[in-house]
Structure 1
């Protein structure tokens, strides 16, 4: 199913056309890893928070103890989650374990993408040069505007009546 996501020509334009990092670039720096050889990072988007662990493996992505295809049923959301791996040319090389809470599915996919990018940089610091220009390491600050008093919604006003 991941092949279907890559075939969307209009969505492919969101992927970064930066130079992929080679293994020679990544060799000198070793990142921060725990005793089990995993790198950890937190990603946020809207009200969603994702805790992401990355370790070398076969390329499986597990979100809240479910497979990626089960949790994110829409191909667009799966494409958003895989963007950092594809941009860094590391798709299929890392097992990703994610715990995500809050927000909706779109915000959660953005939070997983942000956390995955940060975890990849923590594991392999040389990937920062590939992920940073693509905006994968920047937290998206957009959130829902709060409702103001005297108004039915954030900006909507009641209908004006002249008489």
Structure 2
């Protein structure tokens, strides 16, 4: 490597050696759909997105029938509403494992990832809101000598 004579040359050398930002490209399958896997707690969701009328189907049911609670429906629709893509994509998801809350979070994670595969320019907006990051919190395991993960057995004086 050539010897540097001034600080300006050092700055130029550092800029030329800096890695470029990763370029995200559209990832579609043979049917023109974007596929992603979302996870939350013990739930795993497989999500497919394609251009359409905005129909959301989960385990072959309408999402309002599968997630009856409005809070879970709101969690599910967050990435769509945030990116102003309401009514533009048909979403088909299969979800298994965990409870309803974990499943709603898993589908939200999957929708967010699939949206970034379909439209890579949405990645920054979704990442800033934390929808692309997998929520790594899981249930702590039960320990031996304990009633639950941390709770001790009840103390008895006699």
Normalising by the smaller structure, the TM-score range is 0.7 to 0.9
Between stretches 92-101 and 29-38, larger displacement belongs to: 29-38
Q: Which residue is equivalent to 1:8?
A: none
Matched, 1:119 2:114: yes
| Partners of 2:157 and 2:71 in 1: CA distance | 47
Structure 2: state its 5+ residue gaps: 1-23
Cα 1:92–1:106 shift into 2, 3 Å: same
Which of structure 1's runs of 4+ aligned residues deviate more than 6 A? none
Distance 1:64 1:161 in 2: 49
Using the size of structure 2 for normalisation, the TM-score is 0.83
What does residue range 1-163 of structure 1 map to in structure 2 within 5 Å?
Answer: 31-163=26-158
| Separation (CA, whole Å) in 1 of partners of 2:68 and 2:154 | 40
SS of 2:46 mapped into structure 1: strand
CA–CA separation in structure 2 for the residues paired with 1:141 and 1:34? 28
Q: Provide structure 1 residue ranges, at least 5 long, that are not aligned to the other structure.
A: 1-28
Q: How many residue pairs were aligned?
A: 135
3-state SS, counterpart of residue 128 of structure 2: coil
CA RMSD of the aligned region, Å? 1.1
Q: Give a deviation string over 1:8-36, Cα, whole Å, max 9, x none.
A: xxxxxxxxxxxxxxxxxxxxx86111121
Give TM-score scaled by structure 1 length.
0.80
**SS, match of residue 132 in structure 1:** helix
